[in-house]
Amino acid sequence: MKKNKRSTYKQDQKNKQKYYTKLDVFLSRMASILKVPTGIAKGLFSERTVTTIRLNNLVQIPDKTVDQLEALGAVLEKVQWLEDTYIVMNMDKSDLAVTQMYKQGFFYIQNLSSMIPAAILSPKAGETVLDLCAAPGSKTTQMASMMNNKGKIVANDADRARVGKLIQVLEMFNVKNTEARFGAGEGIGKREEGHYDKILLDAPCSGEGLIYLKGEKPLRFWNIKKIKPMANIQKKLIESAFRALKRGGTLVYSTCTLEPEENEGVVTHLLSTFKDAEIEEVELFSSEAFKDEAKHVKRGIMEWNEYRYFPHVSKTYRIIPSGKMMAFYIAKIIKK
């Protein structure tokens, strides 16, 4: 006996409900990690962040750069918790990137979240610093600026083409204290064990922080299958970084993803591998200057699906995407 068209239609509709789009999977994961409804998660990734710049004291005095930018018509709002950093209220990245001031290295266009890891590491003049995955150079130039071109930075990257671009950026922003290197970061810990005062590991990741859902094909680079391979690479990199760190030194681990496997899971791996690794609180996030942004920051989570993480990951932090900052994860680690 043939099924009538109506019953066939109902069966087809029922079957369709079993399929999930890439967007469904992404929003479901983000909602679960952040413990919010999927509608809220979608809204968080649908906000375009403000344009922010970091003034480069290696080219000229920042106050003079402010005057020159305002003369060009830029409306600037100072970020109180980051030195020489401003929100540009009336221009976007494309407007600023074509100015002669940018091309001459007077300022760097950089998201606020991306500036935080180097600010937390707080490199000083005279120290020896490793930027393990440095290209394209945003955080390297920031640290050189903080060090006033004194001391030494080794800026390493595993992609030869990206190292070429890194060198161009260093020249553009008048960085003099940095050696750009090409090579796999996983081997540095064995070759240069206990060599560096401070290390920044802004690790390659699944990149959820870069996703803007109102953009064109926003999930074209995101794939749930990337997460596990990325976490494996990150674990090797963080081991290498910690081995290269001096006793009493500081390592800042950061990613632009919210995935626990790539964040708390990687930090838990480090803590279980090295008994002299210790997580330290990030004072910035509890400071008076940061109070208006504190609502966009959450502490590390203790468990995810079937995984349980070390309790100390509660001292790590996840920046929630907002109109000011893209998603980021940050952990400050000390070698006892």
Active site residues: 256
Q: 65-74 burial by CB neighbour count: b if 16+ within 10 A, else e?
A: bbebbeeeeb
Instruction: Name beta bridge partners: 268.
Output: none
CA distance 180 to 156: 6
**Measuring CA to CA, how many Å separate 268 from each of 138, 262, 279?**
27, 10, 10
| Contact assessment for residue 156 and residue 133, using Cβ atoms and an 8 Å cutoff | yes
DSSP SS3 for 198: strand
- CA dihedral of residues 197, 132, 281, 79 (deg, nearest 10): 100
Helix axes 160-172, 138-146, angle to 10 degrees: 40
CA angle 185, 171, 76 (to 5 degrees): 100
Contacts of 133 (CB under 8 A, 6+ apart): 156, 157, 158, 185, 201, 202, 203, 204, 237
Q: Which of 313, 330, 301 is nearest to 116 (CA)?
A: 330
| Contact assessment for residue 240 and residue 154, using Cβ atoms and an 8 Å cutoff | no
| Contact assessment for residue 162 and residue 185, using Cβ atoms and an 8 Å cutoff | no
DSSP SS3 for 326: coil
Question: What DSSP designation does 296 have?
Answer: G
Q: Peptide bond before 136: cis, by omega within 30 degrees of 0? A: yes
DSSP SS3 for 71: helix
